[in-house]
Amino acid sequence: MSGLSLWRRAAAELVGTGLLVAVVVGSGIMAAHLSPDDIGLQLLENSTATAFGLAAIILVVGPVSGAHLNPVVSLADWWLGRRSGTGLPIRDVAAYIPAQVAGAIGGAVLANLMFDLAAVDLSATERDRPHLWLGEVVATAGLVLLVFALARSGRSAVAPAAVGGYIGAAYWFTSSTSFANPAVTVGRAFTDTFAGIAPASVPGFVIAQLAGLVVGLGLLALLYPRPAVAADEVVVPRLSDAG
């Protein structure tokens, strides 16, 4: 697979995922400050900032790493392209996922510090009910289907707007408010704010997200039988070293 050096792509995943969590957590803190007595308005503010922020981040880091920003997307890319050699090599997956997790934790710490909170303050918000896990399965399956359907149909150019819009909408139509990302889930455990999740609730969410990955891949196989041919353009096409 051609492209920029692996360390540069992993760095882009670290920075991009960090910025994403900083947006999610920071906008959640700001929303709680601005609308302390209206949870619905807090969610609207948080989801709007996340949708626009995610689209912008994809535009920034996409040409470098593909803007996966999510272990689920990286694993799906590897799985779909493993036979044809068009997806993410396992070596790259092994670099991307730790970078995404480290970036997510760093993003939560950054958001905490920007709002004059303790750098690390583990969340006390428990999210450990079956209906929340089901919400994560739905949110993650939809994200996987969206990303790879765009790639398979040659529409990766609209991914920033489409992915941002989907995550913004999924805040509202899923019971879990759509984490849909194991790295982001881990990162959000490091902030005891509006967007936090208790560390004890993280494993259940991650398992549900992996289940959503399987469901999403199944739906993709049903609707787009040959997804591997475009797996190298997920989430957006990357630049080569020459580019």
Structural domain of 33: 6-233
Q: What would the pLDDT profile of 180-192 be if each residue is shown by its tens digit?
A: 999 999 999 999 9
- Tell whether 168 is covered by a domain: yes
Q: What would the pLDDT profile of 171-220 be if each residue is shown by its tens digit?
A: 999 999 999 999 999 999 999 999 999 999 999 999 999 999 999 999 99
Find the CATH number of the domain harbouring 175.
1.20.1080.10
pLDDT at 236: 59
pLDDT at 2: 47
- Tell whether 183 is covered by a domain: yes
Longest distance between any two alpha carbons in the chain, whole Å: 54
Q: What would the pLDDT profile of 103-144 be if each residue is shown by its tens digit?
A: 999 999 999 999 999 999 999 999 999 999 999 999 999 999
- Tell whether 240 is covered by a domain: no
- Tell whether 238 is covered by a domain: no
Count of structural domains, the chain: 1
- Can you say whether the dihedral through the CA atoms of 207, 209, 214, 218 is positive or negative? positive
- Tell whether 19 is covered by a domain: yes
Q: Is the pTM of this model over 0.85?
A: yes
- Tell whether 243 is covered by a domain: no
- Tell whether 107 is covered by a domain: yes
- Tell whether 241 is covered by a domain: no
